[in-house]
Amino acid sequence: MKTNPEKDTELHDKINRETGRIQWKELDRHFASGSVIWVSDQLDLIDVALRIAHDDKESITRWMSKGTVAKVSDAQAQSWVEQDATLWASVVSPFVLVQEPKKQLH
């Protein structure tokens, strides 16, 4: 039976409460194991985490084909190390989803 992520407000709220900012260097071991997933700032990090938790293959495949969800590349990781970057992160075991903070408009 396929579940409906849009109606799973309990899990949505749990993911929202457990999402926070973290320095990239704290994710080194997760990156080394290949479990860190980058989420474009065009997407809602909580929604992506919820759909991964629900194993929504259709959405995940669509995002991956568009390049808005992908495993963190070596180049991204190196850039974040050099910037001493702080990212938004959400854990959906076995993955850690990360997203760069949205750019502030002045």
The SS3 of residue 49 is: helix
pLDDT digits (tens, 9 = 90+) for 50-101: 999 999 999 999 999 999 999 999 999 999 999 999 999 999 999 999 999 9
Question: Rounded to an integer, what distance in angstroms lies between the CA atom of residue 49 and that of residue 36?
Answer: 12
Q: What is the pLDDT of residue 3?
A: 62
**DSSP-derived secondary structure for 9-30:** HHHHHHHHHH-EEEEGGGGHHH
Q: What is the pTM of this model?
A: 0.88
DSSP state of 101: P
The residue among 106 and 37 whose pLDDT is bigger is 37
Q: What is the pLDDT of residue 1?
A: 34
